[in-house]
Amino acid sequence: MSDYIEPRLRRDFGGIITAFFNFMKGNIKGLINVFIGYNGIFFILFLISVYFLVTGIVEYMVMESGVILGNNYGNTDSASIIIGLSIMFLIFLIALASIFNYAISSSYLSLYETEKRNNLPKKLVWSKAKRVFWGVLLLALCAVVLYFIYFIAQIVLAFIPVLGTIVSLIIGLGFNAWISLSIFSYVHNEEHNVFDAFGEAWQLLFSGFWRTIGVNFVLGFLVQICLFALQIGPAIIVGIITFHAIDNGEAFADSTLSHILIILIVTLFCIMIMFMQLISQVINAFLYFNLHEFKHNIYLRSRIENIGAQV
Q: Which among 294, 272, 311 has a CA at the least distance from the CA of 205?
A: 294
Three-class secondary structure assignment of the chain: CCCCCCCCCCCCHHHHHHHHHHHHHHHHHHHHHHHHHHCHHHHHHHHHHHHHHHHHHHHHHHHHHHHHHCCCCCCCHHHHHHHHHHHHHHHHHHHHHHHHHHHHHHHHHHHHHHHCCCCCCHHHHHHHHHHHHHHHHHHHHHHHHHHHHHHHHHHHHHCCCCHHHHHHHHHHHHHHHHHHHHHHHHHHCCCCCHHHHHHHHHHHHHHCHHHHHHHHHHHHHHHHHHHHHHHHHHHHHHHHHHHHHHHCHHHHHHCHHHHHHHHHHHHHHHHHHHHHHHHHHHHHHHHHHHHHHHHHCHHHHHHHHHHHHHC
Q: pLDDT tier at 206 (50, 70, 90 boundaries)?
A: very high
Q: 306: how many CB neighbours lie within 10 A of its CB?
A: 9
pLDDT given at position 74: 54
Q: Which of 154-158, 246-250, 270-274 has the lowest mean pLDDT?
A: 246-250
Angle ∠(66,69,71) on CA atoms, nearest 5: 50
Single-letter amino acid code for the residue at 194: V
**Greater model confidence, 77 or 159:** 159
Q: pLDDT tier at 100 (50, 70, 90 boundaries)?
A: very high
- With a CB cutoff of 8 Å and minimum separation 6, the contacts of 176 are 216
Domain boundaries, the chain: 13-302
Model confidence, pTM: 0.85
What is the rounded CA–CA span in Å between residue 14 and residue 174? Answer: 19
Single-letter amino acid code for the residue at 305: E
pLDDT digits (tens, 9 = 90+) for 25-63: 889 999 999 999 889 899 999 999 988 888 888 777 777
Q: Which of 22-26, 242-246, 293-297, 298-302 has the lowest mean pLDDT?
A: 242-246
pLDDT digits (tens, 9 = 90+) for 56-97: 887 777 776 654 445 555 566 777 888 889 899 999 998 999
Mean pLDDT, rounded, for 261-278: 85
289 HSE (CA, 13 A, CB side): 26
Q: What is the mean pLDDT of the chain?
A: 84
